[in-house]
Amino acid sequence: MAVRLVTGNRIAETSSKGNQEKWLEHDRWYKLDLFGYEGLAETVTSQLLQQSNIEELGFRYVTYCMERMNVHQRIRNGCSSPNFLMPGESILTLADLFRKGVGPDWQSVVARQPNLAGKVRWMVEQTIRLTELKQFGNYLTLLFEVDMLFGNEDRHLNNIAVLRRGEEFDYCPIFDFGAGLLSNVRDYPMDIEPRSHMKLLRAQPLNTTFTRQVRAVRSLYGPQLQWTFMVAEVTAALEEPLKFYAERDRAYIADRIKTCIHWQAAKL
């Protein structure tokens, strides 16, 4: 569960992965790398999603770009993204939506569901009841498929959200890909073969394998995500972001990312 600690105009977001500083300036959000190359993961993922059917399905995603920033008297890598909120809009996470609309014991209600598909169905039905977003099952399926494709294991219920405008709701652009592509070199060191790491990944919010999570949601709402990029497009997307990182690490990072996408795409 995320906790926001505000000091001045900076926010330190606490999640299952740790504290990552971010702040809003000139209508853009800036985030610092925390455990590895999160900025690169955000940037490459959003570039590759340009070659997908997300917009054809009627949904959106956040675009990220690499940044080098002078923070705390140090030069740091990270990324930035546009502030997608329109005047009068706010983000309401599913964790807050369920807390307000179902009650403080909503997690125990989810836990009583008989299986993974039952948990997914409950989350979707409650979201539709509270927001009237009738295609939320398709949206959630798409989100889980994107996370599986890029190995993003930090999709807790504070990273799934809807947009609120007064008493009306809309679908939130898909955001926060930084925990994907084996970016956390603390948990997944670069001196270990990438396929060994891939076997350890766990999907959120159901805390299971990506395959089981996607299978559960697809059993209810069918497949959603399609993409056209291949190895050449992944290589091209990596070219500029890799320049932000030490030259000695670039080949290792590129290999990890290509292995991750190839491995996950084959299973997806």
The answer to whether 16 and 184 have CB atoms below 8 angstroms apart is no
**Per-residue model confidence (pLDDT) at position 8:** 44
**Per-residue model confidence (pLDDT) at position 73:** 84
Q: What is the pLDDT along the chain (268 residues), one digit of tens a residue?
A: 232 323 345 544 544 555 678 999 999 999 999 999 999 999 999 999 999 999 999 999 999 999 999 988 889 999 999 999 999 999 999 999 999 999 999 999 999 999 999 999 999 999 999 999 999 999 999 999 999 999 999 999 999 999 999 999 999 999 999 999 999 999 999 999 999 999 999 999 999 999 999 999 999 999 999 999 999 999 999 999 999 999 999 999 999 999 999 999 999 9
Of 100, 107, 103, residue with least CA distance to 167: 100
CB neighbourhood size of 74 (10 A): 8
In angstroms, the CA 100 to CA 90 distance is 15
- pTM of the full predicted structure? 0.92
The answer to whether 41 and 189 have CB atoms below 8 angstroms apart is no
DSSP state of 245: S
Please determine, looking at this structure, whether the domain spanning 89-221 carries the CATH number 3.40.1010.10: no
Domain ranges, ordered by start, for the chain = 3-85+229-267, 89-221
253, HSE (Cβ side, Cα atoms, 13 Å): 26
Tokens 């709402």, residue?
A: 221
In angstroms, the CA 77 to CA 30 distance is 10
